[in-house]
Structure 1
Amino acid sequence: MITRTELEKRNISLLVQHQISHGWLRPSQLGLDKAILDATIPFRDFLLEADLHDFTRQELGPDHKVIVPAVLMHPTGQLVESTASLYQTKRGDRRVWIKNLPDIAGAGDLVLCIRRGNGLGLVNASRENLHDSLILADEASSGKESVEPPPVEPSVFPELFAKLKTVAQKGFIAAPVEGSTSVGRLLESELGIQMNSSKTADYHGIEIKSARSGSRRATMFAQVPDWTRSAYAGSGQLLNAFGSEKAGERSLSCTISAKKANTQELYLQIDRDADLLRIRQNELSPREVVLWDMAQLQDRLMSKHAESVWVEAAVQRIGDQEYFRFHRVQHTRNPRPEELIGLIRKGAVTVDFLIREAGDHGYLFKILLDELSSLFAHSKAYRLA
């Protein structure tokens, strides 16, 4: 079982606090000896978000290797030039090797990765204090490096709250589309936010979530399972195993909880020894289905919801048209990732599968709105109208 040290937790919290996108690697001794590391999901997600590399668009084989410049923070404080080699094996396994990585990290160390210029910056978060790390220097500012962390930006919640009140004063507004996403699409439109699939926050660092009044749950984030360690290797296999035919199309739409198994006999289980969240089938004779790294889910929570608003809308339907009136908002800051395990166990955080033959609609982690105050150090509700 790998648990994060207090230094590692402080270093990750520093990046989250200053909204610095990051990924991580934890090399094994075998990986260091062979100069080959698995490009883990947290690392691949970071590369994609930082616009440094997209493994899904890379052709197979070493002939299509991509080299990205990198800088390593040496324990002496020196910045060491390096490169990161990114490639896929002919079987589709994602790999990375970082030149001179053994100079700064040993087996089991947590190596944090950020974007630095047009490449990677890497620091050993198991040994170094990021407050003292030159790797965080902002190269965009005249090329000068600073040992000071970036300043904390003041919250823009008052500005956003004023805009939400203006939207609320309009009363009931016609939804632009039908379906479960209509309330969120309407709110984004009214706030002038373009719909996108980015993992970054919606409004100047604040994540915006919306739900119909009466809904008990809201989506926190979407996160695909770790297919490389799961019993089922992709959405297609899950669809074949657990889906059903609806309107001429095979689909799998269900909620999965740790409290009890659903109609597909699927349930959540926390594996504290391995630090994993598992979905299993059949409580009497359990079978593995898919899994997530708990540390990755906690990182996802911290990066996605450093500051958020959760907006509720009353619903009115006239004929075939749906209307929404936004009337309540809950403002949260400073997530407490250590609470995530307990909330999953009590059934307050669940996972929704939304899989169709036409494509995935996500693996959605949802929370009971009544439990937001349990997950965030700051949580306060306001009336909009």
Structure 2
Amino acid sequence: MRPFNLLEEKNIKILTSENIEMCFLMPTATGLQKSIMDATTPFRLFLYERGIHDYGTQGQGPQHKQIIRSHIASENGFISSQASLYRPITKNGDPRIWFTGLKKYADTNDILGIFVFEMELYVLNLTKLDIEQILNGIIVTPVADLIRSISQSANKVAQELLFKIRTIAARGQIQAIGTGDTAIGRTLETLLGIAMNSRQEPDYKGIELKSFRDKRGNRKTLFAKVPDWNLSKFKSSAEILNQFGYKRGDDFKLYCTVSTLKPNSQGLFLRIDAKLDQLIETSQELKIGDFAIWQLATLHAELKKKHKETFWIAADSVTINEVEYFCFTKIEHTRSPIVSQFDLLLEQGIITLDHLIKRTSNGKTIKERVIEKGPLFKIKPDKLELLFPPSVKYSLR
């Protein structure tokens, strides 16, 4: 897909700020002539995650074609359409899609933004439409009305959560619950009435909470994801620990940061294989080489699931009589990560990986166990704007 132009970028920013989650397609000259478009990997994942369609289980041939009710936006309203989703018998059954009537509203290399509402597909030609004019026009069109309705519905939970955190922040210094890096998150979640558990879903009604001590400048955790052990040379965190770990006190551990820029002190580094769409962790030891693999599509899916909507909550930390207290100061509210940026930020060392593996004794028997708190994918603290569309910032003071 070609780079976005200024109008397309503006449209995407506005729609993102209105809580419209989109995926993008670009019709080619051949595609318009033959009435076909490739259903790209991000687009297929977009449909699958929303329960619209699973190309992975679809058979080849016209008898397996699926039809989804769709709508193509114009400046004045929506034109009824149908999306045909199919896999041809030829060319390995490469997934295809087409919208009836699209040729009247799209030219070669136009950028189409696709979103889902009530299990139907909506098509916005971001190259031709000016979303700002549509939303700010004197006459309220069906397009503007739908966008505003989706936005207002999505904002209800965010406003509810913002009110609760403002109420907490108004209390000033609050004694920490627990100690260490996890204390701030545990404290805030307890105050919000969120029970501690090991779930992977967002914390508050679909909104992920990421709280942090503001003055430390630490990298921000995006998500945790173990390698695909079926593809990897090493088949467990314990094997990685055995190979690269070191003794610290009573523990045998591997706590380190790994990036694509250069090997760390353990000789570990990351690289991206663009042909295989994989992130690979490698050792400088030639006899080991590549030992852990993540499918990039899996990491993209985890990022989108975890950070569909996130409150990044900063707090000042002060210690009084050896007891830590937090004062919550500000929130950065992000939505819909730009998945295509994830790989680039990995390559530039802005997103890195942390191993947090250790082997400990339970203190009662000689039996030991391996604990894995990661691997954690983290981003530099001042680089969120490179991964997310423009955010909304709130002061809690």
How high is the TM-score relative to the length of structure 2?
Answer: 0.64
**8 Å Cα contact 1:74/1:104 also seen in 2:** no
**Separation (CA, whole Å) in 1 of partners of 2:98 and 2:194:** 37
Partner of 1:274: 276
Q: 1:344 to 1:185 in 2, by over 3 A?
A: same
SS at match of 1:258: coil
Partner of 2:163: 162
SS at match of 2:383: helix
**Separation (CA, whole Å) in 2 of partners of 1:12 and 1:298:** 10
Q: From 376, 379, 384, give the equivalent of 2:388.
A: 376
SS at match of 2:271: strand
- Is 1:232 the counterpart of 2:265? The answer is no
SS at match of 2:334: strand
Q: CA deviation at 1:225?
A: 0.3
Equivalent runs, 1:192-341 vs 2, <5 Å: 192-213=193-214, 214-282=216-284, 287-341=289-343
Q: From 38, 45, 48, give the equivalent of 1:12.
A: 45
| 1:48-92 CA distance string (max 9 Å, x none) | xxxxxxxxxxxxxxxxxxxxxxxxx942569xxxxxxxxxxxxxx
| 1:209-253 CA distance string (max 9 Å, x none) | 111112331111111101111121111111111111222121111
Partner of 2:356: 354
Q: CA deviation at 1:285?
A: 8.8
Partner AA of 2:300 in structure 1: Q
Q: CA deviation at 1:260?
A: 1.9
SS at match of 2:349: coil
Runs (5+) with no aligned partner, structure 2: 1-24, 26-37, 69-86, 100-117, 123-148, 360-368
How high is the TM-score relative to the length of structure 1?
Answer: 0.65
SS at match of 1:369: coil
Q: CA deviation at 1:370?
A: 1.1
Give the ranges of 4+ consecutive aligned residues of structure 1 lying more than 6 Å apart after TM superposition: 21-24, 103-110, 283-286
| 1:129-154 CA distance string (max 9 Å, x none) | 79xxxxxxxxxxxxxxx863699542
Partner AA of 2:172 in structure 1: G
SS at match of 2:345: helix
Larger radius of gyration: 2
- Is 1:75 the counterpart of 2:47? The answer is no
Partner AA of 2:207 in structure 1: I
**8 Å Cα contact 1:11/1:129 also seen in 2:** no
Q: From 148, 162, 165, give the equivalent of 2:120.
A: 148
SS at match of 1:290: strand
| 1:81-134 CA distance string (max 9 Å, x none) | xxxxxxxxxxxxxxxxxxxxxx99999769xxxxxxxxxxxxxxx24679xxxx
**8 Å Cα contact 1:226/1:292 also seen in 2:** yes
Name whichever of 317-326 and 296-305 sits farther off.
317-326
Partner of 1:123: none
Partner of 2:115: none
Paired positions, count:
287
| 1:265-322 CA distance string (max 9 Å, x none) | 1111111111111111128998112110011111111111111111111111123322
| 1:18-64 CA distance string (max 9 Å, x none) | 5x69999589x9xx9xxxxxxxxxxxxxxxxxxxxxxxxxxxxxxxx
Partner of 1:188: 189
Q: CA deviation at 1:381?
A: 2.2
**8 Å Cα contact 2:44/2:55 also seen in 1:** no
Q: 1:181 to 1:148 in 2, by over 3 A?
A: same
**Separation (CA, whole Å) in 1 of partners of 2:358 and 2:182:** 16
SS at match of 1:362: coil
Q: 1:128 to 1:319 in 2, by over 3 A?
A: same
Partner AA of 2:205 in structure 1: H
Q: 1:372 to 1:6 in 2, by over 3 A?
A: farther
Q: CA deviation at 1:327?
A: 0.6
SS at match of 2:230: coil
Considering only aligned residues, what root-mean-square deviation do their CA atoms show, in Å? 3.6
Runs (5+) with no aligned partner, structure 1: 33-72, 79-102, 111-125, 131-145
